[in-house]
Amino acid sequence: MAARKLARSEPSVPEYRIGRYRVRARLGKGGMGVVYLGKDEALDRDVAIKTLRVDGSQDDENRGRFEIEAKAAARLQHPNIVTVFELGEDRGLPYIAMELLGGQDLETLLRSHEPLTATERLDIAIQTLRGLEFAHAHQIIHRDIKPSNIRVLDDGGVKILDFGIAKVESASVTRAGMMVGTPFYMSPEHIRGNVLDGRSDVFAVGVILHELFAGTRPFAADSPTLVLYGIVNEPHPRLKLDAAGPLTADVQRVIDKALEKHAEDRFGSAAEMADELARVRKRHSAPPLPMGDQASLSQVRKLLATDQVDSGTVRTVERIARTHPETAEAQRMLRLVKRRPAEPGAAAETLAFPELDASFGRATGGADQTVGSGRTIGGRVETVLRGGPSPGAAAPAQHHSNAVLYGAIATCVITGSIAAFLYFTRVRSPEVAATPPIKEVFVPRPAPSASNPAATKPAPEKPAPAALPNRPAVAVIPKAMVEIRTQPKGASVLLDRKAIGVTPLRIEIASNTAHAISLSLSGYQSKDLKIAPPIPSSVDTTLQPVGPPSSLIVESAYPVTISVSGRVIASNKPGISTTLPSGDYEIVVESSSLFLNHRESVHLDAGGAFAYRAPGTGKVGVRAAPDNCKVFVDGVFVDYPPIIDRTIVAGDHVVSFEWPDGAKAQQRVQIREGRPSYVMGRKP
C-alpha cells in the first residue's frame, strides 16, 4: 500500500533537514541510530533516513559498519533487497536514505501470532533466499539474517534489510578477536570464528524456516552461551507431524539439510535451497479464488487505500478467508483489514527534533539552512550548505558542533572467555527501531594469550550544545482554489496520497508546488493526474469503464521470477498465466542464475493480452590469459577461469575480466540456444 502524504502541520516552526531531505517525523530509535521519515522534495517521494546517534555511537567501527551497510545494499538492486538511495554526511552526521517500506518485519509478524498459510511461509523463505542468492553472486555475505531483518510487505513481497555487518569482499570492521551476529541464527562456523561464505546465510534461513512452521526457534535456551553451545553441538528439534500439513515431511527434509553442522553438508547455495522449497511449494498450490471473491478483494484494496474500511468490509473479508483458509491472498487481506496499521508516510509530523539540535549543535531549518550541492569525500557524500543566519541570529559554532559529535565517542568492551557477551540494541530497519533483549552479541574468539588487553575507558565529558540561534519567521504559503470534477460523479479523490472527498469537489491547495491527484470509482479505471503551477481553477476528466480483465502470459522452460510494476507475482516458477486490470505496467522476467533480465513497459487494453516467451539456454566456456582474474557476466561476478559449460540464456551478453592489478578487458558474446560458445580474455 502506498504511503500517503500528510497535510503539513500549521507552519509555526522552521524545517529540519538532513542533507537534501526535509525531516517529517521520527520513525524509531535504537542504541546506535535514529530513523526518520523524510521527504525528497526534488523527486516528490517519502524516504526513510537512518542516522548514527551523536551520543557515543560514531566511533570508527560503527561508522565503518554504517558505510558497509549502505554500500552493500546500494550494490544490490533486487526486488527482495531494500533499495538504498544515498549514503551521505551532513555537518558530520552520517546518514543513509533508503526506500520507505510498509508492512511489518517478520519478527513482529511471528510474535503477533497472526495466522500464515503454508504457502505464505514458504514464499517468505523463498524470497529471502532469492535476495541472498543475488547478494552472494555479488560477493556479499549478509551474516546477520534474522526475522527482524526481513520485511514482509502488505502485498506479500519480502525485503532483506540491514547489511551493517555484511562481508563485502575484503571489507571488514569486526575487531580482532571478536565476531558479531545474533546468537539464535548464527551458523556453527560463525561461532567458531571460521571464514564464512553464503552457506552461513543458508543456515540462518534454515533456522527461520523452522521458526515459521514450529513457532519457536530450534536453538532456544536461557543464556546466549547455551544457545551457541546447542547450535554447535546439539541436534535441532523436529517439527510436529502436522506443522505443515501434508508437506511436513518435505519441509523437514529441507530444514534438516539447511541446519547441517558442517557447511559442506548443507545446500551448496541459497539458489539451491530456494529451488527445493519452490518444488515443495508447487505441490501445495491452493485453488484460485472465484472471480466474485477476487472482485470483492479488489474493492477492499481501494477502500484500504482511502481509509474507508468499515465493519461490513471486515465481515466480507472474514467470510472469504473462512471459505478459503489456504489461499494466501484472502488471509493476507484479512490481516490487513484487522490490523489497518498507520502507514509510515502517514504518521503525524513532528515539530521538534532535539537530538538533531544536539547533533548539529544548533536548531536546524528555517531560512538559514538552504541546502546546496553535495560532494563525495572518502566514499561519502558531504552536503555543502549555502546561506547564512537570518538577521539578528547568532552564527552557529561549527567547530563546537564537531566537538559534540566526536567528543562523545566512547568504547565499552566486556572481556573474558567465550562465554562473555556484550549486548546492545540498534535500529533494525527503516521502520523498526527497538529490539527484544539478547539480539546482538559480540563473541570473543579464543586468544593465544590469557591477558586482557581491552580495558574499559570512561567516556569523555560531552560539551554542552551551542546556544540556539533566533528562529526566523516562516513565510506564508500561497494558496489557490481548484475544483475537481469527473464524469461520472462520485469518484474518490486522493490529493498527494491523502483522501480528501469525492467529486465534484472544491478545495484550497498550495499554489507554489506540484500536486498528484488520484481518482477511483468502482467499475471504472483509476486515473492519476498531475497539476503544476500555475494551478488551474478546475480539473475535469472522464473515467473509463473497467471492462473485461487483461491477460498476462509468461512461458519459460526454466524457473523465473515475474514482477508487475514492482510487485513480485511469481517466484521461481516456469511461467504463469494470470489476469490484470487494464492499464500501464512494467513487466520484469528474470532469472539471476541464468542472466535473464527482461524488462518491458506495456499497455494492457481491456480484454487484451501480453505474452512473453523466455529464451532458451546455451552454454558458455570462459578462459583467460593469465587466468588469475575475476570473470563477470553482464556485470555480475561468476567465478575465476576456467569456466566450463556454464548454462546461460540465449542472446547477447558481455563477459568482463578483472585482474588483481586493476587491468580490465571485456568481450561481447552471442549465446545460441542449445549450442556452446567460447570466450578468451587476454590481459591488455
Parse the chain into domains and list their residue ranges. 1-102+344-411, 117-287, 291-343, 479-542, 550-613, 617-682
What superfamily would CATH give domain 117-287?
Transferase(Phosphotransferase) domain 1 (1.10.510.10)
- Is 90 annotated in the active site? no
Contact (CB, 8 A) for 614 and 589? yes
Hey, what's the cell of 382?
Answer: 558531504
Cα 181 from Cα 142, distance rounded (Å):
10
Fold of 1-102+344-411: Phosphorylase Kinase; domain 1 (3.30.200)
Question: If you average pLDDT over residues 478-493, what whole number do you get?
Answer: 89
Q: Which of 40-54, 231-245, 380-394, 527-541 has the lowest mean pLDDT?
A: 380-394
pLDDT at 60 (0 to 100): 62
Rounded Cα distance between 208 and 236, Å, is: 13
Mean pLDDT of all residues in 323-327: 79
The pLDDT of residue 639 is above 90: no
C-alpha to C-alpha distance for 199 and 145, rounded to whole angstroms: 12
Percentage, residues of the chain above pLDDT 90: 25
Q: Output the average pLDDT for the chain.
A: 75
pLDDT digit string (tens) for 433-470? 333 433 444 444 444 444 444 444 444 444 444 444 44
CATH architecture, range 617-682: Sandwich (2.60)
Q: What percent of the chain has pLDDT over 70?
A: 72
The domains spanning 479-542 and 617-682 adopt the same CATH topology: yes
* C-alpha span between 371 and 368 (Å, rounded): 10
Taking Cα atoms as reference points, which of 634, 678, 632, 683 lies closest to residue 659? Answer: 683
Give the span between the Cα atoms of 114 and 120, in whole angstroms: 12
- Please indicate whether residue 595 or residue 462 has the higher confidence score (pLDDT): 595
CA–CA separation, 95 and 77 (whole Å)? 19
Which strand (E) or helix (H) includes residue 494? Answer: strand 492-495
What DSSP line would sit under 312-369, residue for residue?
A: HHHHHHHHHHHH-TT-HHHHHHHHHHHH-PPPGGGSPPPS--HHHHHHHTS---GGG-
Residue 402 has pLDDT above 50, yes or no: no
- Tell me: pLDDT of 237 over 80: yes
Confidence check: pLDDT of 391 > 60: no
Q: Has residue 85 got a pLDDT over 70?
A: yes
31 falls in which pLDDT band (50, 70, 90)? low
CA nearest 598: which of 569, 631, 561, 568?
561
Which residue is catalytic, options 105, 144, 154, 250? 144
Mean pLDDT in residue range 387-414: 35
Q: Which range (43-47, 277-281, 424-428, 490-494) has the least confidence?
A: 424-428
Alpha carbons 93 and 362: distance in angstroms, whole number: 13
Residue pointed to by grid coordinates 523498526: 432
504 has pLDDT over 70: yes
- d(CA 17, CA 14) in angstroms, rounded, equals 10
pLDDT at 395 exceeding the cut of 80: no
487: its cell numbers: 464524469
Within 10 angstroms of residue 256's Cβ, the number of other Cβ atoms is 16
290: its cell numbers: 472465484
pLDDT at 244 over 60: yes
- Round to whole Å and give the CA distance between 14 and 24: 12
Least reliable range by pLDDT among 98-102, 262-266, 523-527: 523-527
CA separation for the pair 400, 630 (Å, rounded): 47
Mean predicted confidence (pLDDT) in 658-671? 92
- The predicted model scores a pTM of 0.52
pLDDT above 50 (res 577): yes
Distance CA 652, CA 656 (A): 13
Q: Which CATH superfamily is domain 479-542 in?
A: Carboxypeptidase-like, regulatory domain (2.60.40.1120)
Residue 409 has pLDDT above 60, yes or no: no
pLDDT of 202 higher than 90: yes
**622: confidence class by pLDDT, cuts 50, 70, 90:** very high
Q: Residue 13: its pLDDT value, please?
A: 53
Cell output for 141: 555475505
Q: How far apart are CA 391 and CA 413, in angstroms?
A: 48
Lowest-confidence segment of 90-94, 152-156, 287-291, 500-504 by average pLDDT = 287-291
Q: Would you state the pLDDT for residue 585?
A: 83
Q: Which is higher by pLDDT, 273 or 144?
A: 273
- Mark out the alpha helices in 382-510 (DSSP H runs): 398-407
